[in-house]
Amino acid sequence: MSMSRARVARRIASAAAYGGGGVGLLGGAALGVLLTEVALARRVVGGHNDAPPRADGRYGSSFVHRLGHEPLLLGVLGDSTAAGQGVHRPRQTPGALLASGLAAVAERPVELRNVALSGAQSHDLERQVTMLLSDPARTPDVCVIMIGANDVTHRMPFARSVRLLSDAVRRLREAGCEVIVGTCPDLGTLEPVYQPLRWLARKLSRQLAAAQTIGVLEAGGRTVSLGALLGPEFEQNPRELFGPDNYHPSAEGYATAAMAVLPTLCAALGYWPEDEERPDATRREGILPVARAAAEAAAEGGTEVTATRGRWALLKHRRRQRLPAHTEATPHHVWSRARREA
């Protein structure tokens, strides 16, 4: 299955690179069923129109006294998952969790600027990148992008989706910013969604995630798969990890995803232990062809893919610290403990 997904992902990425259109992944009848079920699922899950809490600002204020250390600037782009839709406190959003974690690991303040937009598709990334780069004197040190789910549900051709994401990553990299992309989550995990949508949504989500990985690596970024991470764990604990609308993650769900992204975020800036950068065969890490690494990562959440040379990539399963199910995210304590135990 992973080899087949690798071939499809490479076809999509190639079409994106050469300006091609969509790549047919499902027949018309199957796609019609998928879209009908998506519409029904949206009515079932409902949701709310509350704006995500604003979490922009400075984190790690206890490190301000360290002379010669300007705050790191963390940019967050993407859709409702990146914005933190579904929670009510700023500290529960993925941006705040990542900013707090990065501050604790780097031991310096982190300034968060989140330009993500609920409902955004990949074509909105151009606007979001322009917002982040509007002040040439204050370019982000690192950016995290979470995008893709709305591209699937709104029938955006995957080649176009990957091309738009790759263009955004390339612009940020050319501006001197490190980039980590949380690839398309597994839409087959939505609790009110039934077959055949569950199988089809999972298939499409993983194919887009794998293609995104190829495009992002070629543009100079890194990826962390969110798909299966938000799959088995969400399926087993839907009441804990989904929010009140049964569609967006809860505070615990966002913390789970953020803890998978944090090690890659820190490693991109050189703040993760050096011995963690070497592949560990006991954790099934190693160097693989890019397309195969992308396909394998799409099937297992929390997997990092980083380009090495040519068409080869490093596949890593970084350790992450799980939050107790009964607690609310407390960023500084959690991240400090995760760093000690890494």
The Cα-based distances of 117 to 2, 5, 55, 128, 159 in angstroms read 32, 29, 13, 9, 22
In angstroms, how far is the first alpha carbon of the chain from the final one? 32
List residues bridging with 287 in a β-sheet: 314
Amino acid type, 73:
L
Q: Which of 56, 123, 167, 245 is catalytic?
A: 245
69 half-sphere exposure, CB direction, 13 A CA radius? 16
Buried b (16+ CB within 10 A) or exposed e, 204-227: bbbbbbbbbbbbbbbbbbbbbbbb
Tokens of 199: 């199988």
14 is catalytic: no
Say which residue the tokens 């604003």 belong to: 54
**How far, in Å, CA of 148 to CA of 336, rounded?**
31
**How far, in Å, CA of 324 to CA of 221, rounded?**
32
Tokens of 113: 């600027």
Q: Which of 80, 161, 166, 225 is catalytic?
A: 80
80 is catalytic: yes
The Cα-based distances of 241 to 17, 176, 231, 248, 284 in angstroms read 36, 35, 11, 9, 27
Q: Which of 161, 166, 248, 317 is catalytic?
A: 248
Active site members: 80, 245, 248
